Structure 1
Amino acid sequence: MDRAETVSEVTAMRASLIQLSVDSSDSADERRHRAASLVRGSTGDDLVVLPELWTAGAWSYDRWGRDAEGVDGPTAEVMSAAAREAGAWLHAGSIVERDGDGTLYNTALLFDRAGELHGSYRKIHRYGFDTGEATMMGGGADIVTVPTDFGVIGLAICYDLRFPELFRGLLDAGAELIVVPAAWPAARLSH
């Protein structure tokens, strides 16, 4: 077999990464509508990615309980419409999810071009040891991959980056592209 027969065809895709300023004076609803406007402006992109915990603020622990929602909550509703209007796959960053028994999770949402939720991922590796995310949120257990028209996306969030076994599992599950939204503290910006 010659080399041309073993190399798969590479297709081009266009991705946009949206960075959002999170001001504690903004409500989650104001942030949703600002983010949706930016997503709608990404017409022509194949994939749009928002940051980790942008609706409540990654370091605003006092807001997490108040701004928590289900995977079918207000953020999903607004982001679904924005993905549909942009005609793009939308990784809506992550939300503070509250499940049926009241447990909070750091949960990523992935919408298709028609605005349908095609994947959600609960962050497995929570940041911190005895404060913040590690004590306030439950940990996920599932490796999540989602087939798209430009390849299979694997989902991870921020601190997951420090655990290579997750990425080996994503590759073993068929991931061709891994999306990892993050909200790093100021002390880690140089990293």
Structure 2
Amino acid sequence: MTRTEPDHSDERTADGDRSITLGLAQLEIEDGDLDGNVDRAVDAVASAAARGADLVALPELFTVGYFAFDLYARSAEPLEGETMTKIRTAASDHDVAVLAGSFVEDLAATESVETPADEGYANTTALFSADGDLELVYRKHHLFGYDSAETELLVPGERIDTANVCGVEIGVSTCYDLRFPELYRILVDHGAELVLVPSAWPYPRIEHWETLSRARAIENQCFIATINGAGTFDDATLLGRSTVYDPWGTVLASSGDEPTLVLTTIDIDDVGDVRNRFPALRDRRL
């Protein structure tokens, strides 16, 4: 496992520096263990903050487990529900921004954010600032139909937004979305410099996980951070390998398949530097 620890002693102090430390919480996720999974997530937020993280990200469906399809409806909550309240509180208590992986959202019960449907459930990610403010909501656009009940149980998202958190323009996609490059072009057109990708990616598709993530970084000349879970379920084992890629597609930090916290400091100004040195995005023909 390669892990990069933050070294704040080398950070530049000149105006314009936008170095931030990312914490990717590769959590042990147990099918249906909602209380235990959420407790581990809250602990991971505290641990990442204590070790210098400015932003900590959690995996896809860290609450109930991606493969617990029969529990989706029973575990569904609104954005204002108990689980997101715990994550929001952890963010403000520890003064760290948090990407709350994803959870099963009860769309009909959510009140605070425009929803794409009056009823049904969504695979929903929420981004909170270090003050605990809700900055961004993303509902998974591309629902996985291969050996999965996701397409039958959930409603796809419609909105694609970015938010400025920690001085960085952040976009979000979820797991299977990695296979659809047009989504990332939209995020880049919205100004995204860092895209966070909470996931529940299983064995054996290691090459797909690594190749697609690196390609999204290279073609969009932005940072990509993939946050996978850890754990074995009835028919699948998550492959972990949570990774941060820079705008050249170089791996800055990564993990194996065991539960861990990946920490690395990135300089967001590298996005502009790479785009100026190799202006491929300017050569697009739409």
- Structure 2 spans left out of the alignment, 5+ residues: 1-14, 109-117, 210-286
SS at match of 2:35: helix
SS at match of 1:18: strand
1:184 counterpart (173, 196, 201) = 201
| In 1, Cα distance between equivalents of 2:67 and 2:78 | 20
What is the alpha-carbon root mean square deviation over aligned residues? 1.7
User: Does residue 70 of structure 2 align to residue 70 of structure 1?
Assistant: no
Percent identity between the aligned chains? 39
The answer on whether the counterparts of 2:20 and 2:166 sit within 8 Å (CA) in structure 1 is: no
| In 2, Cα distance between equivalents of 1:57 and 1:142 | 24
Where does residue 45 of structure 1 map in the other structure?
Answer: 53
Query: For each residue in 1:38-86, what CA deviation from the matched residue of structure 2 results, as whole angstroms up to 9, or x when unmatched?
Result: 2012223111000000101111101111111111111111001111122
Where does residue 4 of structure 1 map in the other structure?
Answer: none
1:85 counterpart (73, 85, 93) = 93
2:38 counterpart (32, 35, 48) = 32
| In 2, Cα distance between equivalents of 1:160 and 1:173 | 17
Scaled by the length of structure 1, what TM-score is found? 0.89
With a CA cutoff of 8 Å and minimum separation of 6, indicate the structure with the bigger relative contact order: 2
The answer on whether the counterparts of 1:42 and 1:86 sit within 8 Å (CA) in structure 2 is: no
Matched residue type, 1:56: V
Pairwise mapping of residues 33-182 of structure 1 onto structure 2 (< 5 A)? 33-43=39-49, 44-100=52-108, 101-128=118-145, 131-182=148-199
The answer on whether the counterparts of 1:33 and 1:78 sit within 8 Å (CA) in structure 2 is: no
Task: Report the count of equivalent residues.
Answer: 183
The answer on whether the counterparts of 1:126 and 1:134 sit within 8 Å (CA) in structure 2 is: yes
Displacement after TM superposition at 1:9 (Å): 4.1
Query: For each residue in 1:98-153, what CA deviation from the matched residue of structure 2 results, as whole angstroms up to 9, or x when unmatched?
Result: 11143110000100001111111011111115841112111111112011233100
Where does residue 266 of structure 2 map in the other structure?
Answer: none
